Amino acid sequence: MKNDKLTQDEYNALDEIKAGVKTERYSACVGRNTKRLAGLKLFSVARNGRISLTDKGEQTLFLRRCILALRAIAADGASPIGADVALFLGKKSHIVPRAEGGFEISDKGRESLADIEQQGL
């Protein structure tokens, strides 16, 4: 079985490419991780050397944002989360709005978070 678990450095490289490269050169973080992330099909490297995020890379970053949002809400229901993440987690019945604002994790959300923690993600 392949190890598809990403390090924080690899997530940072994905975030950097998503934000767009401001200079002609990529950072050391992107350089260190390009081969592995391209191999996992999270980056694509064009013939001219331009790196872009693939759909799979976009999904990976979005899922990471969802996991971080669930953890934040578990710690503090008033934690701010992105509207797209809130919509997705709400549709999946992982969070429910609180009357005083913010969100609360549903039983389904707690089960998912426990599974995520067990897998070490």
Tokens (6 digits) for 78: 């008033």
77 & 48 share domain: no
113: domain range? 59-119
40 & 90 share domain: no
Provide the 8-state DSSP code for 23: S
pLDDT for residue 119: 82
Residue 97 main-chain phi, psi, to 5 deg: -65, 145
92 & 112 share domain: yes
pLDDT for residue 3: 54
Mean pLDDT by 10 residues, the chain (121 residues): 74 90 81 92 89 94 94 89 93 91 91 88 70
36 & 69 share domain: no
Tokens (6 digits) for 114: 């426990």
Query: CA-to-CA distance for 31 and 45, rounded, in angstroms?
Result: 12
Report the number of distinct structural domains present in the chain.
2
pLDDT digits over 70-88, tens only?
A: 999 999 888 899 999 999 9
The whole model's pTM is what?
Answer: 0.84
Tokens (6 digits) for 40: 């996992």
Q: Would you say residue 45 lies in a domain?
A: yes
49 & 79 share domain: no
Q: Would you say residue 2 lies in a domain?
A: no
Q: Would you say residue 31 lies in a domain?
A: yes
Tokens (6 digits) for 32: 């260190």
64 & 83 share domain: yes
